[in-house]
Amino acid sequence: MGLKNTILLSLFFVALVAKKGLAAQHVVGGSQGWEESTDFNSWASAQKFKVGDQLVFKYTSGLHSVVELPNESAFKNCDLGSALDSKKGGNDVVKLNKAGTRYFACGTLGHCDQGMKVKITTAGSTAASSPASSSSNDDGSSSDASTTTSTTSAASANFNSFALFFAMTAVWALVLVYVF
């Protein structure tokens, strides 16, 4: 009885640690957070977003909000009327559950037009482009960024399954040692 619980608990714990180690949380805007003065373009281009990662929007509730927009043109024009989703808690978590680009803006009147918006491209095997990984090259050439991106994400997928396999093996080794 006690042994079984111990095993289940360690299985759960190892799985939790493995998951936490693999998925990253990105606080949007870094230490400045989701504020009007933050430079979200440079913040986003310095990040690598992977499937499973989370965005956290931190701001003073009531001053700002987080509105998800459907596409590039809505993003460019700050078309808040086309919002897919809206959050205003001040500590809002968004999970990046698939590859592709997502668009977020502040819903407070005028803030989006002042630049309070961010475009997040999550890398994946089907992602067309990603934020340039080399900050020295700002000529905007992203033609071969996609190959780098898919290699990276394939490698991280391999790492994911490896970590999971390793965790499972460790737990079952533990079980065998205990039982036999």
Ligand X SMILES: *[C@@H]1O[C@H](CO)[C@@H](O)[C@H](O)[C@H]1NC(C)=O
Q: Which residues bind ligand X (CB under 6 A)?
A: 70-71, 73-74, 82
Burial degree of 112 (CB within 10 A; 0-12, 13-18, 19+): buried
- Burial of residue 69 (CB within 10 Å: 0-12, 13-18, 19+) is buried
Question: Nearer Cβ to Cu ion, position 102 or 111?
Answer: 111
Q: Pick the closer one to Cu ion by CB: 91 or 135.
A: 91
| Closest approach of Cu ion to the CB of residue 103, in Å | 15
Contact positions with Cu ion (CB under 5 A) in 89-108 = 106, 108
Q: Which does 70 bind (CB under 5 to 8 A by kind): ligand X, Cu ion, none?
A: ligand X
Pairing of strands 85-87, 66-69: antiparallel
Residue 116 binding Cu ion, by CB under 5 A:
yes
Q: Please provide the DSSP assignment of 21-88 as one string.
A: HHS-EEETTGGG-S-TT--HHHHHHT--EETT-EEEEE--BTTB-EEEESSHHHHHTT-GGG-SEEE-
Residue 71 touches which member of ligand X, Cu ion, none, C-beta under 5-8 Å by kind: ligand X
| Residue of the chain from 38, 51, 55, 64 that contacts Cu ion (CB under 5 A) | 64
Structure tokens at 4: 């079984």
Q: Using CB distances below 5 to 8 A depending on partner kind, what does residue 116 bind out of Cu ion, ligand X, none? A: Cu ion
Cβ proximity to ligand X: between 67 and 74 the closer is 74
The distance of closest approach from Cβ of residue 126 to ligand X in the complex, given in angstroms and rounded to an integer, is: 18
